[in-house]
Structure 1
């Protein structure tokens, strides 16, 4: 069994763009839910100061992440004027192709860092999708 990938990205919300970010998050979540049945979880959050957007996703494997990055690219581009990507953290073992696409996404959305975290110990009780 392939271990899941845990994806977390954080972005600064540009001045005056909060309403557009909230609308865009809802639109993107609906788009992804309808088209990615393998994706285990996909959640947006805004911090209490309403200045940072965080996305948390759980993919069953690297192929799911690759598909997500390809499918979502046009939708992600719509966020370029709304946010500035600060960071993408991936916990697990993404493929080299996924890592390359993550770096492209970070650059497109403001030049944030991409950090990979390799598993060392632990377990998941996620059922297979």
Structure 2
């Protein structure tokens, strides 16, 4: 059975860009919903004061996250002027190719990649059929 992958990125919102960023992220979330049937969850969160944004994705496996970066990746550059990326955290297995893709995203948006290795525990994630 494939191990699910959780992706969390956290960014600072550039001053004066909150409304534009919220609109762009709502559009991106709709695009992901329409074009990525295997993703389990894609959620955007803002701090109460609007200075920080977190994007949380849950994928059934590494292939789903790789597909997300391929399909939604071309939509990231217009968002770059609206944020300063702090971190991308990955919880779960990561291939060398995916690590390179994530490093590419940090080159575009700033920040760093943190990979968290699974130690113990379980998840009750419903099975998602392969596309």
* TM-score higher than 0.5: yes
Task: Give TM-score, length-normalised by structure 2.
Answer: 0.95
Return structure 1 stretches of 4+ with deviation > 3 angstroms.
Answer: none
1:16: how far off?
0.5
1:85 and 2:63 matched: no
Counterpart in 2 of 1:126? 125
1:127: how far off?
1.0
Written as runs of structure 1 = structure 2, the 5 A alignment for 1:1-129 is 1-109=1-109, 111-129=110-128
1:106: how far off?
1.4
Quote the Cα distance in structure 2 between the aligned partners of 1:122 and 1:47. Answer: 29
Query: 1:84-105 CA distances to partner (integer Å, 9 max, x unpaired)?
Result: 1000000000211111101111
Quote the Cα distance in structure 1 between the aligned partners of 2:89 and 2:107. Answer: 14
1:34: how far off?
0.3
Query: 1:62-108 CA distances to partner (integer Å, 9 max, x unpaired)?
Result: 11111111111121111111001000000000211111101111110
1:49: how far off?
1.5
Any unmatched runs of 5+ in structure 2? none
Q: How many residues align?
A: 128
Any unmatched runs of 5+ in structure 1? none
